[in-house]
Structure 1
């Protein structure tokens, strides 16, 4: 057993580090959501901002968009040209995806400064890509409502997780300490 542990020390270290960071950040995220219940932002600050930024971008590219508080659930209604298209819920804010991203990067950490910068810029890029994803999804739903299931359930989650996977591969191949001795 000891030989196996020594042989797979780096794999065990990765898994344990990933799990610890993921659990800590997930609890932090849950705490944030619970603390947001008393906030003036609806349903929570980040989700509210994502909805408003999506509205701003849609208006900037010529779609008459509006985001309003949903009267019956914790979400924001996204409306284009008077047509209610989608709900922006807590799961649309990309924070759970960013938690997953950060957990992986920390588990494969490199030099501190490089890791910190990649975490900051990677998280920011994921956030921006997520807002763009909501905008493009909204336009797709506006023009092709019959394709809503495939757009929302398959294509757009694949894009955001695919993008995170590309960032992970960039990290592992260019910046992490894999294959180097510490």
Structure 2
């Protein structure tokens, strides 16, 4: 059994760091969410920010795009060309994806400064892509309302998770301690 732990130590350490980071960040996020009363239909500030930023992106295309609080559930309605197109809920704000991204970077550690810079830049990229994703989803659903499942459940998740996966590959191969370093002769 001891040989097993020695042989798989790097993998087991990765799992432990990933799990601990993910649990801690999720606990912090859940504590943040608990400040808002869902019974009173209060939307958390970050979800509201994402909805507002998505509206700003849509406003570049159509000046009749706007957000409105949903009066029946904890969400923000997003309108495109004056028509209600999507609702933005807490799960749409991409913070859970960002937590997953950060946990992976922590688990595959590197030097502190590059790690923090990569976490900040990667998180901003994921956030920006998510805002654009919601705006594009609005446009797609406005034009093709019968294809919600394809857009919402297949195409856009593939794109956002694909970007996260590519960021992870970049991190492991270029910046983590596991990246191959050029040899000098």
TM-score range, shorter chain: over 0.9
SS in 2 for 1:135: helix
1:63 positional shift: 5.1
1:37 positional shift: 3.2
- The TM-score with structure 2 as length reference comes to 0.92
Give the match for residue 78 of structure 2. 78
Q: Deviations over 1:95-133 (max 9, x none)?
A: 000000000000001011110100111111100010010
Distance (Å, rounded) in 1 between the aligned partners of 2:42 and 2:31? 16
Give the match for residue 183 of structure 2. none
Give the match for residue 147 of structure 1. 147
Distance (Å, rounded) in 2 between the aligned partners of 1:5 and 1:15? 13
Superposition map of 1:104-119 within 5 A: 104-119=104-119
- The TM-score with structure 1 as length reference comes to 0.94
Give the match for residue 49 of structure 1. 49
The number of equivalent residue pairs is 179
Distance (Å, rounded) in 1 between the aligned partners of 2:47 and 2:174? 32
Give the match for residue 5 of structure 1. 5
Distance (Å, rounded) in 1 between the aligned partners of 2:136 and 2:63? 11
Structure 2: runs of 5+ lacking an equivalent: 181-185
Higher mean displacement: 77-86 or 147-156: 77-86
Give the match for residue 62 of structure 1. 62
1:12 positional shift: 0.3
Asked if structure 2 preserves the Cα contact closer than 8 Å seen for 1:42 and 1:69, the reply is no
SS in 1 for 2:85: strand
Give the match for residue 35 of structure 2. 35
Distance (Å, rounded) in 1 between the aligned partners of 2:118 and 2:29? 20
Structure 1: runs of 5+ lacking an equivalent: none
SS in 1 for 2:34: helix
Q: Deviations over 1:74-99 (max 9, x none)?
A: 00011112221111000010100000
Superposition map of 1:103-142 within 5 A: 103-142=103-142
SS in 1 for 2:121: helix
Q: Over aligned residues, Cα RMSD in angstroms? A: 1.7
